[in-house]
Amino acid sequence: MNHKEFPLKDETYRIIGAAMEVHKQLGCGFLEAVYQEALEHEFHLKEIPYEREKQFTIEYKGHTLKKNYFADFVCFNFVIIELKALSALTSEHESQVFNYLKASNTKVGLLINFGEKSLRYKRIVTNHYFK
């Protein structure tokens, strides 16, 4: 797979590596907020640029809705990160990330679950921009 087929490959590998380190140190069983704080610290250590809880507006037929979306993290200005601390991920969680990509007009998202014995993650890549 070439770089065009898998955008932001190096960046997503670095993010996943940071998440693996957090899971290695903490294991499973904590609340999502604990993993979010630990991952933020790991991003600092690994010099991964990020914004925490970045706010995005949602457009509907040219109208900006009052309800906003807050990404857990946006790394490298282009990768949406959604964290979970659940016993298992579902297709609904993947749909949530896809909708976040649509709301933010972003192509690449990572769904990361710290709630299992092994870290689980899923790269979600859209084929086009929405706006």
Q: Which domain holds residue 51?
A: 9-125
2 belongs to a structural domain = no
d(CA 25, CA 45): 14
Q: Work out the percent of the chain whose per-residue pLDDT is above 70.
A: 92
CATH code assigned at 30: 3.90.320.10
Question: In this structure, are residues 126 and 94 in contact, taking their beta carbons and an 8 Å threshold?
Answer: no
1 belongs to a structural domain = no
34 belongs to a structural domain = yes
Among 124, 123, 122, 120, which residue's Cα sits nearest to residue 28? 120
Q: How many domains does the chain have?
A: 1
One-letter amino acid of 77? N
Question: In this structure, are residues 19 and 39 in contact, taking their beta carbons and an 8 Å threshold?
Answer: yes
Among 22, 23, 74, 80, which residue's Cα sits nearest to residue 50? 74
97 belongs to a structural domain = yes
26 belongs to a structural domain = yes
**Would you list the DSSP string of 43-102?**
HHHTT--EEEEEEE--EETTEE-S--EEEEEEETTTEEEEEE--S---HHHHHHHHHHHH
d(CA 111, CA 82): 5
22 belongs to a structural domain = yes
More confident residue, 131 or 75: 75
In this predicted structure, what is the pLDDT of residue 126? 85
When pLDDT is averaged across residues 8-36 and rounded to a whole number, the result is 96
56 belongs to a structural domain = yes
58 belongs to a structural domain = yes
In this predicted structure, what is the pLDDT of residue 112? 98
Stated pTM of the model: 0.88
